[in-house]
Structure 1
Amino acid sequence: MTEQNIQCERLSRHAPQVKKVRDFVAGETAVKAALDLYMPVPSVGMNPLSQSFKNFLRRTSFFPAAARVLDGCLSLVFQKDPVLVSETVAQIKDSITYDMESLELFAEKLVSETLQTNYTGVLVDAPSDDERPANLNGQNAVDLGYHPFLSLYPFEAILDHRVGRVGNKQAWTYVKLSDGEHKYRELRLTAGIYSVTVHERIDGQGEYQSTTVIPKRDGKPLDFIPFKLVTTKKDRWPTKALIDDVVNVNCNHYILEGDHASALFNCAGPQKVVVNPAKQTDADGNPIANEYPAGSDHVWEIHGAGGEGQQAGVHFLEFTGTSVVAIREQLKELKSQMSALGSRILQDEKAAPEAAEALAIRRTSENATIVGLTRSVAKDLEEVLRWLAWWMGAANKTDPATRFTLNVDLVPAKLTPQEVTEIRNLRVASAYTAEEEFYALRDGGWHADTLTWEKHKAAIDAEVIDQPLALPSIGAE
């Protein structure tokens, strides 16, 4: 990788924390492959590349707290499908990226990245005119794959950016993104015209070759850079991610597990001791200084008078376990901290019963952070999808007909029949509109999560139209 394809200094400062999160989310193999990056060597002078250190790592347990928290958060958010309302974007929602990924999968990746790094880029991109299929028209553009796509850029692929005053607001004027080790692109807004320059090393060798294109919509260049930085803090520089604290405590827990493994390996087994053996000397008659490594596979030789009650011969020292008990208590404390940070995802359910109302209040408080993150991501993605709809023919870049939401009902509970009756009474009393009644019932579990008011009303209207006309009654004349 050359200097052209690396992050700027301010972004690279945050890279070590991102790598730490990536490794701990990836799990035991990735963490232990980092050797002494996360685990201090257990003794002075031990080489981190030595077999002894690798054996020490193998003996050390690893608790996958970060991965559990991440999977738990994603499971909560995506227990219900995202809801897209857009006739335009709906045409390509199952192939929204160049890799033919669905919008649901793209949204899940975006939420996952936001949980881990809180710094993800989304670019709306379209094939260049050189890739334009023959006989392209408005009807077959989608079928031929000539339409805008979404591209997700994780923290590591965002290299640099600048903002400037565009009209009466601040907007991107330059964005630099990596498309791999030997390819990167620069997005520029110059004199109100958006351009993309792609730099690529052919076969990964030689100098970069550059190609510049000017993306167009209806034959006109774009007047903005269609790049969205997704972050809950709305800051253009990296900030703390939701999972950072869990990862940091997970790292401390892993280090303490190393202390625990060392204590058990060195002390748990009986230590063989030889008291008053014959003194060993070298060829010149000088006494040999013996080393005394701990462990059941070693033997200590003690020369001179033994302690009270100790006779010459072979003895065993039994380990009392006092220090290990202290380590185990600290491990429990760290696990408890991870449980709290993970919003009960790691914590065992309480044995004692808990009132339903108290449980609901506590869970709502604990899930508030995840709900805030989910709403922030959904809002940013909705804005990007509106750009996409506009590029595909919508009237403006803030197309109100394009709406997107993610599930924020993390602990769903179906409405009781009594609550349904109350909602319907409010509708009869004109306190609710028909649409408000529908969404209240849908959110309460009485309709499919993906059903919209428009589809529901159309189905009801169709049923009314299809009902047979009343037959005239036959009676005596």
Structure 2
Amino acid sequence: MALDPTVQHPDYIEYQPVWKKCRDAKQGQRAIHKGGPLYLPKLAGQEDANYLKYVKRGNFFNATGRTIEAMIGLVMRKPMTVTVPPIMEPWMNDITLSDETLTDFAEGCLAEVLTVARGGIFVDMPEASDGVTVAQVEAQNIRPYLVQYQAESILYWKMGRINNRYQLIEVRLSEWYERPDGEKAQQVRQLLLSDGIYSQAIWQRPTDGAEWAVVQSITPLKAGTPFSEIPFYALSARKPTMDVVTPPIEALVDVNIAHYQNSADLENGAHIAGQPTPWVAGLQAEFDQSGNAVEKAIYIGSSTFLTFADPNTKVGFLQCGSEGFATLEKLMDRKQEQMAALGARMLAPEKKDAEAAQTHEIKRGGESSILSATCGVVERQLEKALQFAAEWMGIAGEISVELNRDFFPPNFTGADLTAWVAARQAGEISKETLFGVLKAAEWLPDDRTFEQEQDAIKEDGPPLGTLTDKPPAE
């Protein structure tokens, strides 16, 4: 029997529902509503039409998506620092050969790890025809490029020990391609390390239901020599590993969905209780000459006066009090506090009382450490991918990638500035030290050097108040 390349790793099967839950929560209300019973179970005996109304009344307070966006914003608020050989610098403006910069690519990797704690970076290169010249290679962009794969696309993987090194020996990646008839279909790119040689196999099915078959086999070469590693670099939370780990954001997602369920109950109850139901007691039925009951309409309205022959008839309205909703409102408030503690603190109202700066930093310490570790993983794997790309083209030189870890702007006030300037005027600190303070406080451009600042000051000419008609003192 032929190999089915779509067979999934056991960890993939276990975590796929978790990834979907986290992605839907990040996407927001539309995805949560579309999930239906997956996120909001039906009430006992509830008909489909009423259930759809029940779902639509629920409001999903998207703490998850805003938290992820805020964390990405904290990292990307300062430019990433990239060092590559000069010949590779133009690549950084289109690292995917699809008009995506390295910064955009890094931001996408960061978003994937923060959302599902899973992903991968693959290095590949277009095939060049035999006899192609160097000029043609450059003109046709025949160079290595990076591809990002989401968790759901990494179907299967296997690790093994080769030459006393534990490394990836197989990974299968789900992709889409266009058939001759114009229809989109799935294909699987199998990356293999066999006998120390890296190769690729592309699996496709000519028609739905047909057996999978290898339609292309590739052995990438560097100067005629095959590679001894698979250029696929796993993205994960806290450390780079092919092992699937629990997304750090999952705890927030669970509380976020529970908050949505409370909201649906509250809104549904308020809708029902907000429509008073009229009732009549003691009204005697009337009969016609044949003894059949006669239905009598009762009109309700401010301009209609109701009269009943039976003096025992009573009328009124049934209306639920609001006491039952107070518990739901308290539960929702409590869950918002929990979401704040789990990473969505920026969504909570600011406290009126001043909070000690040290306490404030300690509370944010857990978030910063997770975010810092995530940045470290993305940096390390991007460096490995770029190093492999450079090796493929025979390019030597330093390669490094550094994401911003200074997540929060410094608290530097006007009073602080006055104190530092006074210290400079008193000769207690140097001009260069004052420059460093202003730069750390982000009052000066991040890429400005002390020497550049001094040159700019000279170009500005003498400061105001120093111009005079008198000749300089001898």
With the length of structure 1 as denominator, give the TM-score of the two structures.
Answer: 0.77
Q: How does 1:40-439 map to 2 (within 5 A)?
A: 40-42=41-43, 44-47=44-47, 50-86=48-84, 87-130=86-129, 134-137=132-135, 141-180=137-176, 181-202=185-206, 206-207=210-211, 208-234=213-239, 235-278=241-284, 312-364=313-365, 366-395=367-396, 401-413=398-410
Structure 2 distance, partners of 1:96, 1:172, is 24
8 Å contact kept, 2:25–2:64 = yes
Shift of 1:333: 0.5
For structure 1, the residue ranges without an aligned partner over 5 or more in a row are 288-295, 297-309, 429-433, 467-477
CA distance in 2, matches of 1:109, 1:248: 24
Distance 1:123 1:245 in 2: 30
Contact 1:269 1:319 in 2 (8 A): no
Contact 1:268 1:321 in 2 (8 A): no
Q: Secondary structure at the match of 2:202?
A: strand
C-alpha deviation, 1:409, in angstroms = 0.7
Question: Aligned residue for 2:20?
Answer: 19
Question: In the TM superposition, what is the alpha-carbon distance from 1:144 to its structure 2 partner?
Answer: 2.8
Q: Secondary structure at the match of 2:335?
A: helix
In structure 1, distance between residues paired with 2:158 and 2:92: 31
Q: Tell me the CA shift for residue 318 of structure 1.
A: 3.0
Q: Contact between 1:233 and 1:239, CA under 8 Å: does it hold in 2?
A: no
How far does the alpha carbon of each residue in 1:121-153 deviate from its partner, in whole angstroms, 9 at most, with x for none?
A: 1111111234x793225xx64443111010101
Name 2:467's counterpart in structure 1. Answer: none
CA shift at 1:80, angstroms?
A: 1.1
Kept in 2, the 8 Å contact 1:133–1:144? The answer is no
Instruction: Extract unaligned runs of 5+ from structure 2.
Output: 177-184, 294-299, 301-310, 460-474
- Kindly provide the amino acid, as one letter, of the partner of residue 83 in structure 2: V
Report the secondary structure of 1:129's partner residue.
coil
Aligned residue number for residue 470 of structure 2:
none
The letter of the residue matching 1:317 is L
Q: Distance in 2 between matches of 1:427 and 1:164?
A: 58
Q: Secondary structure at the match of 1:4?
A: coil
The aligned length equals 418
* CA apart distance, 1:37: 1.2
Return 115-124 or 180-189, whichever deviates more.
180-189
The structural deviation recorded for 1:319 is 2.1
Partner of 1:182, secondary structure, is strand
Equivalent residue number for residue 431 of structure 1: none
Instruction: Give the distance between the partners of 2:421 and 2:395, measured in 1 at CA.
Output: 38
| Distance in 2 (alpha carbons) for counterparts of 1:346 and 1:185 | 42
Identity of aligned residues (%): 26
In the alignment, residue 409 of structure 1 is paired with which amino acid? D
- Secondary structure at the aligned position of 2:93 is classed as coil
Asked if the contact 1:121–1:154 (Cα under 8 Å) also holds between the matched residues in 2, the reply is yes
Counterpart of 1:218, as a letter, is A
Question: TM-score, normalised on structure 2?
Answer: 0.78
CA contact (8 A) 2:238 2:373 kept: no
Deviations for 1:315-349, whole angstroms, at most 9, x for unmatched residues? 11232211101111111111111111125122221
**Relative to structure 1, is the Cα distance of residues 189 and 347 closer, same or farther in structure 2, using a 3 angstrom cutoff?**
same
Q: Cα distance, 1:30 vs. partner?
A: 1.1
User: What SS does the aligned partner of 2:347 have?
Assistant: coil
Structure 2 CA distance for partners of 1:252 and 1:317, relative to 1, 3 Å:
same
